[in-house]
A and B are shown apart, each in its own frame.
Chain A
Amino acid sequence: MDILVDILRAVLFVVIAYAVVFVAALVNIFYERRFMAFIGDRLGPNRTGPQGVLQSVADAFKMMGKEDFRPLLADPVLFTLAPVTVMIGAVSIQLVIPYTGGFMATSLNVGVIFLVAITSFTTLSILMGGWASRNKYSLVGALRAAAQMISYEIPMLLSLLIVAMIVGSLRVDVIVAFQANYEWIGFYAPFTFLMFYIASIAELNRGPFDLPESESELVAGYATEYSGMRFGMFYLNEYAGLTIMSMVAVTLFFGGWMGPWAGAIQFWGIEWIGIFWFLAKTYVLVSALVWIRFSIPRLQVDQLMAFAWKILIPLGLVNILATAAIILWVPSWKWGLLVFGWVSFFAFVGLFDPILKRRLRKQRERQPVVSA
């Protein structure tokens, strides 16, 4: 009987994970289009259903109705496999995320490591799709994606290590439990969160790090040769990724499902109001992602790599050392972390832009004046 319950439980959570991915993708596509229209002083889709909410559903049906097309010279196996496997990351990452109190697939003892490891799966699918398409744009896009995602996984892991160090556990539910009473890790380590956030934008291939599919350079990057529902899978994964990454960020840095009256309504051992807080926090971060996309121009490949390897990774290592020192030697280490976190956060935010601009100004002064 226990085995039966376990199987039912597993099926339930897999269904939920897939449902979250699909619903989140449809919602996010619509949300981003409206948000982007608002930023660009336009209306956006507002004809299909009330306020256009059914637009992405209509688009999904359109995509399903399209011809299943494969280029003649493409690798048939990999080309078909890539869009099928691309969702694995987004789906299985949810297995360690608590949606709310008592509502979590599994409390893995290496939860944080699992998060980072499973994210890399997307890279594999993208590389597979880009290589199999046998298109030069796809190939360049796929290689860019691989280089970028591998590079940014390091700062991501470095920032997650700090979370694990503060909490003293790799279990995700323990990390959430640690943040009860609003002691959010995002408050203790804002700089760490910033690093995580930047790295997660790069992991998602979104602007300003959307080089793998920068439409003005590579047409559609790795997805150039895909059409119909195969392209739809890449597209769904990308937009579901917004919600999934924000869920991870909320879980690790902003107290997960915790909030006022989170446990007010309880049955079947689940705290139902928590889901609301979880989603609310998640969508605050999703909005930030959309906003950032339309505020910062795209970086260039060398600048992107330099940003990861010359700035984020050294700063992340220093951050780890400093945090470890504070936790080890400062008696009231929570206060120490608070001070250190905010000082480093403001130092980074306040100094990065002026230093960069100063370097550019110097560089421009050195640049020969062509008007002699």
Chain B
Amino acid sequence: MYDQFETPEPDEAVKLALRRIEESTARGEGSDVDGLAFNEVVVNMGPQHPSTHGVLRLVVTLDGELVKDVIPVIGYLHRCKEKLAEKRTYFQYIPIVDRTEYLASINCEWAYVMTVEKLAGMQVTRRAEFIRVITGELMRIASHLVAVGTFTADLSPLGTAMVFYMFRDREIILDLMEELTGARMMFNYYRFGGVRYDLPDGWVEKCRDFLKMFPKKIKEYEALVDTNAVFLQRTQAKGVITQQDVVDYGITGPNARASGIDLDLRRTRPYSVYPELDFEVITAQHGDIFDRYRCRMDEMRESLKIIEQCLDMLPKGPVQLGSLRAPYVITPPPGSAYVGQENPRGEYGTYIESDGSRYPYRLKYRDPCFCNLQLFPKLLSGNKIADAVAISGSIDLVLGGIDR
């Protein structure tokens, strides 16, 4: 018979949180009001929670409004992406890469394709390189729009208006991508040694229109929040990531650059045609929520600059190697390769080990969000709940990448 007063057995993460409370009370660190030491509660945020953007689960120990301890629990979106690679040929695996980190799917594809090219020693046609940079940077803008939009939506109903402005403008990018690749999210566009389709007629003009229009939109977003005293109050001097943290936890991307670390793989470990392009690596000084937000906004501007240069320099020529057909079956020589690519969220690395067959022997991703998530317990503890939500929004996690 079902006993309505029997509470279900807590799972591992909750047990760990409860044990930590007991340990801290035993050490005498527990909060103590009039001898009552039971005022810490374990709250389960997620996997279905409005502010976790996906299926992240945080087991949070709360002392009133104060966050004492955070235990991130991942794996709710695990789809065996790495294992799947071992049963598919290199070519068959391309569409699956899209589905790892879905907000910047084309950048993930790029990382995978680059690794295979390095492994097989293939050259990429020059026109295809430029198209790759253009699409990669467009997706970087789209991804940052989602990141900033959802982050402001975590802060307030103002953000719910802002997030709609940002998704409205992201639509333009997605339309451009759709015209080019035929898809809006899962592109399956890059091929070994090139890209699938050449730019359609009139695409360059449409892209230039977007470049002309978008800086105004960025100004509009900034006007909404940058001078808003409440927004500044909520974001400045909160959730500071120090440079030591960045080194210790392997933080990359805008989160590291906001702490003043000049780490951008497009510049420090250049790939594709980035050495020929003129752009700045955006850094900030304080490493707080506001700086991370500012970094993303400024990076969008830099991306626009890169796209504009690429459109100007776009050479003529084929977009695929040799014949019109892409090399469907490739057998790289035995060996291994790692390529780190600057994803909107940081270093997205792909490691492939080949045994000389048509299938990868092993494939491993280094996901930036996975590394950034490690910082959560340290970063969130000691803040208010509201701050914790704002901080986790500003770190910009994509669970598809973490769980793979």
Contact = CB atoms under 8 A, between A and B. Distances in A.
Interface of A: 36, 39-42, 72-73, 136-137, 140, 207-208, 210-211, 214-219, 293-303, 353, 356-357, 360, 363-364, 367, 369-372
Given A41-B168, A371-B260, 4 more contacts: A216-B393, A217-B385, A299-B233, A370-B260
B161 A36 contact: yes
A360 B285 contact: no
Nearest to B232: A360
Contacts of A217: 51, 385-386, 389
Contact of B232 (A210, A295, A357): A357
A370 B231 contact: no
B230 interface: yes
A297 B285 contact: no
Interface of B: 4-5, 7, 41, 43, 49-51, 62, 65, 152-161, 164-165, 168, 225, 228-234, 236-237, 240-243, 259-261, 283-288, 384-387, 389, 393
Contacts of B156: 207-208, 296-298
A140 B236 contact: no
B229 A356 contact: yes
Nearest to B49: A219
Nearest to B155: A297
A298 B49 CA distance: 18
A273 to B, nearest CB: 36
Contacts of A215: 50-51
B367 to A, nearest CB: 24
A364 B234 contact: no
Contact of B286 (A295, A297, A370): A370
B160 A40 contact: yes
A218 B388 CA distance: 12
Given A136-B43, A140-B385, A301-B384, A39 B161 contact: yes
A337 to B, nearest CB: 29
B191 to A, nearest CB: 38
10 contacts: A140-B65, A140-B385, A297-B156, A298-B234, A356-B233, A357-B229, A360-B229, A367-B236, A370-B240, A370-B241
Given A42-B164, A360-B236, A371 B283 contact: yes
B244 to A, nearest CB: 9
Contacts of B233: 299-300, 303, 356, 360
B389 A216 contact: yes
Contacts of B41: 136
Contact of B384 (A298, A302, A363): A302
A4 to B, nearest CB: 50
A239 to B, nearest CB: 14
B164 A216 contact: no
Contacts of B231: 297
Nearest to B150: A216
Contacts of A72: 4-5
A363 B161 contact: no
A213 to B, nearest CB: 11
